[in-house]
Structure 1
Amino acid sequence: MSEEKKTDDHEGSAATSGKNPLLVVLVLVNTLAVCAIGFFQFQNHKKLNSVTTAADVMQQELAGGEHGGGEPAAAGGEHGAPAAGGEHGGAAGAAPAVKTDGLMYPIDPFTANLAQGEGPKRYIRISLVLKFTKDTKKEEVDSRKPQISDAIISMLNAKKPEELLKREGKDYLKEEIKTAINNFMIDGHLEDIYYVGFQIN
């Protein structure tokens, strides 16, 4: 009887040890899957942060333009820009055209509905900086701001999300916006457009 019990115990332990490698493999596969998911989430987080970094770079360029070229920029060189811009007040008004070789005109972030594609209705949150030629008068751009916003929103309303998710779609949208805005500008000309925020939900 005791020999039978020992034999059963031995068979039971052998069966248990037979299952252990399977458990180890499952745990390893599970761990690798969790690590892979974590890695992809980290990469996605880095991509999202790079959009913010682009916005920050654009803001730094705009802030840097406020005190123009020459000695104030050299003095501001390493992170001294905001203080220099603050001290020189009136002289800073004409300097941006010299520094950027044009008028940088930020458009406040806004949200617009996209054309109905496959699936649920989606919208876009976008923020732009428009670069006009140096002969452009800021007063004219200010007075045209409602037309500019209307043109951009109308174009976005006609776009499907899948069009704007591709790089070519974003570039094509820039060209369309440039053409539309230049059609009603009189003294100036829109040279380029910078996306500083572009999010589709």
Structure 2
Amino acid sequence: MNKPDEQFDEKLIQHYNERKARTTLSHAQQQALKHSVAQKKPKKLGFALQLTSLTCALGLLAFIVFDSNNVINTAPKTVLNTIDIHDYSFITTHEIDQTGSYASTITQQKRALDTQHANNLRLHQQHHIEYGTLVKVDNDWYIASCNDEVLVQIKQSLLSDLKGKHAVESSINMGDILAMTHNGKGQIIALKHAGDGAKQCKA
């Protein structure tokens, strides 16, 4: 009863060996296959570089998208009609102050102030100038007029006002010949050294 099984086993082994012989690659074929597989397999270094490049590209893309969103959200709107604030003599400002009250202020522009200063200077040059010698300094100043022998007393209150307006020249001493500038109303508006006017006073 064992013989049929043995014959079957032998036939099975023979068949297996024949199939194995037909499908087994020769040594040369095995080497060629290994070589082709090795060429197709990516190198570890190349793969690492590709992965690093991909990561950098994704990071850069995320940064650009995030930054462009910020620029879009925070960029001021373009003003089509530009103005030069210096073209206006006055600027009125309206606001709610820290106490919660409505407040408004008026600012006079420098250009308007420059024009006003030039006009004032022109008027100032038209003022009457009188020359005199500082003869006494107490709390008040006493100036003896050169032209008509009038003693001019300038009270401390006026001196303080003129000094506050920087209308009194510094380093004035007793005996100095001064120029007293009067406005159209005859009021003294400035005191300074006479300069060339000293010749008129001495004549």
**Is TM-score (shorter-chain normalized) higher than 0.5?**
no
Q: Which has the higher strand share?
A: 2
* TM-score normalised by L of structure 2: 0.28
Q: Which has the higher helix share?
A: 1
* TM-score normalised by L of structure 1: 0.28
Greater C-alpha radius of gyration: 2
